[in-house]
Chain A
Amino acid sequence: MTPATIEAKKKTEVSVVYDGDTKEISYQPHEAVRALLERAKTAFGVVTNHLLSLFDPGGNELSDDVSVEAAGVAPGEKLVLGQSVIKGG
């Protein structure tokens, strides 16, 4: 098995929820959460970007800098794309 094949086999998906919609987003376990976040933002057509995060179903915000695997995300898991903080003033 070539390294490329091994890499392809590792690639998997999570379900990301945003504003009532759900999309399957692919990721690789070793890549940073930030990469998955950027892919999710693109998939949903989000235009303001730097304040959004991914959350697990328990409401915990995933750190952008750790790997998806280290963040405890498993294949097929549901994540929420949302503002780090929704506020106004």
Chain B
Amino acid sequence: MTETDSLQDVLATEHAAVYVLGVLGARTSQSGAPDLYATLRAAYDAHRGRRDQLTGLVAAAGATPEAAATAYDLPTGLETPEGVTLAGLELERACADVYAAAVASTTGEDRALMIGALNDAAVRALGLRGTPEMFPGAGEYADR
């Protein structure tokens, strides 16, 4: 796997994250749950920004950026704000896992970008009722 392949993997994850967060936002009442809505909106914007950044990096490397799928499997339990919050939390943790993996398979500026994205996802998880972890994105160390 090349460094560009790693970026493509992360880009594919960001496509999914943008899609799922769009759905989570649509299932959240802006007036009924304003804090959750604002958190999801900020996460959506952040992931969309990362997606666009990664698309540019892959293209600059001379490859064709991974395209988004037409649709993605959605989490269940989105009927309540609690369910939406949990889905958002799991999404951010999954993104942290993918970014942490990409840290291992990139170098230099690309790796620095992956570290920044990992940090951002870890901190965003706190806004979705997450609690600080010892090893975000690398949970196997916590299980030792």
**A and B form one complex:** no
Interface residues of A (CB under 8 A from B): none
